[in-house]
Structure 1
Amino acid sequence: MKLDVSTHKLFGYGSTLRTAKRLTEEAVRVVDRAVAGRMPDVKVILTAERNLAEVTTAAEWETAGCTDKRIQSRSLREAKRHARDVAGRAIPLANGGVLIVINVDQHPNEATFAITLVHELVHAMQNSRKDGRERLIAGLRHDLGVERLSRRASRELDRQLEADEKEAYGREYLASRIVPSAAA
C-alpha cells in the first residue's frame, strides 16, 4: 500500500500539507484496522473549491475511459456547480488505486479534516471489496454516458451506494482516535 499526499494549485499551504500528511498516515492505520477490506494505494490531493471540479472530473474521465469532449464539458460544468458543497471525494483510479480529493476551504481545523479523511478512506476500503471497484466504475461509465446500465442495475447500484455512504458516516467516529477533538 502506497500513500501519497500532495496539493493541486494550492500555494502558501505548507503547514497544512505537513499536517495533512501526518493525519493521513494515522488515519490510514486506524481505518485499515477497523474496516473490512484491504487498503489500496491511496493518493490524497488537497485543493481549493475552484480547482476541485477539474481534479475530480479528470480522474473520473480517465477511469471511465471517457473521450467525448461534449460529455467532458457537461460533467465539468456539473462538478463546478456542486464544488462548493463537497468536502471530499474518493474516486477509483485506472491503475487500481484510489484518489481522495479534499476541499481545504471546508476544513477550518484538524478535527473536521480528520472526519472527512476517515469518511473518504472508508470509501477507499469499500473499493477493495469484492466487486466494489467494478461496480463503481460501471456507475461512473453510466453517469458519463459511456456505457449504459439497465434500470434494475442502476437501482441496485444506487442502493449499494446508499449503504456505502451509511457505513462511511457510521465510521466517522474513528476520527476521534486521530484527533481527540474530532467528535463526529
Structure 2
Amino acid sequence: MFTFVRSPGRQHQATLDRVHAAADTATRIVEQQMRGRVGPVDLAVASSSGMWDLVADAHRPMFGRQDPRVWQHDLHAYGTTTITATGVLVVINAQACRGRQDEIDKTLLHELTHALQFNRSGARPLIESSIANNYGIAPMTEREVAAANRQVDADERDAARMERHHRQLAQSI
C-alpha cells in the first residue's frame, strides 16, 4: 500500500523506524474511523526544508512548477499531504517530530486522514484548482477560494480529531 519515496539522514532514524512500524496500523484505524479508503500513498520522512522540496517535486509533472517557497510557510509543521500525478504524497517532518513517538503517531493519523479525504470522489478537482491558484497558474474567484477554504477547514477538523487515536495506534504496534 505504501511506497516510501525518501528518507532523511541517520539522525532521524527513530522517526523513520516508527513511521515504518506504524503506517499500516494507522491506515486501518483511519479507514475504520472515517469509513473510507486511504488508497495508495507515497510516504516520505524528510527534514523541514526537504518536506517542501518533496511537495514542489510532486507538483512539477502536474503544474510545471517546482518552487518550494510557495509552500514553505511553516518549517515547523509536523507533516503535510498533497496530491501527485499518480495519487497522494504524505510527508512526515522528522525534525519537527524529533523521534517523539506520540507526535509521529498523531502526525501519521492526521496526514493519512488527509490522504483518505483527497481520495474521495470529487475531491481531486478542488485540490488541483487550489494548487493551480497558489502557483498563480489559474486564479480562482473569491467565491471559489471561500468554498475551498471551507473544505480545508472541515478536512483539518476531521484530521485533528483523528489524532486522538494515537494511544490506540501505540498499543496496536
Q: TM-score with structure 1 length normalisation?
A: 0.83
What's the CA shift string for 1:33-58, capped at 9, x where partnerless?
11132222111100111322211111
2:57 is equivalent to residue 66 of structure 1: no
* Matched-pair contact (CA < 8 Å) for 2:38–2:113: no
What amino acid does structure 1 have at the position aligned with 2:81? A
Distance 1:77 1:3 in 2: 27
2:151 is equivalent to residue 160 of structure 1: yes
Q: Which runs of 4+ in 1 moved over 4 A?
A: 12-15
* Matched-pair contact (CA < 8 Å) for 2:130–2:148: yes
For these two proteins, the number of residue pairs brought into alignment is: 170
- Choose from 112, 116, 120 the match for 2:107: 116
Distance 1:144 1:37 in 2: 30
1:93 maps to 84
What is the percentage of aligned positions where both structures have the same residue?
23
1:17-36 matches, cutoff 5 A: 17-36=16-35
Distance 2:8 2:166 in 1: 27
Q: TM-score with structure 2 length normalisation?
A: 0.88
* Structure 2, unaligned runs of 5 or more: none
* Structure 1, unaligned runs of 5 or more: none
What's the CA shift string for 1:113-162, capped at 9, x where partnerless?
00001000000110122211111111111111121222211111111111
Distance 1:55 1:106 in 2: 16
* Matched-pair contact (CA < 8 Å) for 1:27–1:118: yes
Distance 2:163 2:11 in 1: 29
